Amino acid sequence: MNDKTAKIFLSTKGNKGPVSDRLIELLGYIEHPEKVPEKPLYRNIENEVTKVRMDPEGRHSYMLVEAKIMDARRYGREEGEKVGRESERKNMICKMLESTSKEEVSKLTGLSLEEIEELIK
């Protein structure tokens, strides 16, 4: 996009680099809005969020963003599980190879010798 906007990603759990007290307070508000002292900035944010939620078009956009976030989380979870399974599989094969030949491991697991070689690299 050439809309001359800047995208900034912030994490309420992050700790990289120096961060101003105002930004720390804002991130605290984002994570726990009920715990932040009453300030005009936060009241304005709440008012705008309420307007967006009440506006049918804004609500639709908000729900699309929420759906994308849920999809990203699901994808991340699936990828993490996949990486975990592959890691466990590799560990199991390596453990088996401590006391068993590659040929025997191939018979037991159904993996080809090439797949076993690839896993233990």
pLDDT tens for each residue of 30-55: 888 777 678 888 888 888 888 877 88
CA separation, residue 86 to residues 83, 92, 96, 113 (Å): 5, 10, 15, 17
**What is the pLDDT at residue 18?**
80
Residue 120 within any structural domain of the chain: no
Residue 42 within any structural domain of the chain: yes
In the structure encoding, which two tokens stand for residue 28, read together?
């605290």
CA torsion sign for 6, 63, 28, 38 is: positive
Asked if 62 and 52 count as a contact pair (C-beta separation under 8 A), the reply is yes
Tens digits of residue pLDDT in 61-118: 878 988 999 999 999 999 999 999 999 999 999 999 999 999 999 999 999 999 999 9
**What is the pLDDT at residue 54?**
84
Residue 36 within any structural domain of the chain: yes
Q: Is the pLDDT of residue 10 over 80?
A: no
For 102, counting Cβ atoms within 10 Å of its Cβ (0-12 exposed, 13-18 middle, 19+ buried), the class is: middle
- Total domains in the chain come to 1
Domain range spanning residue 30?
19-54
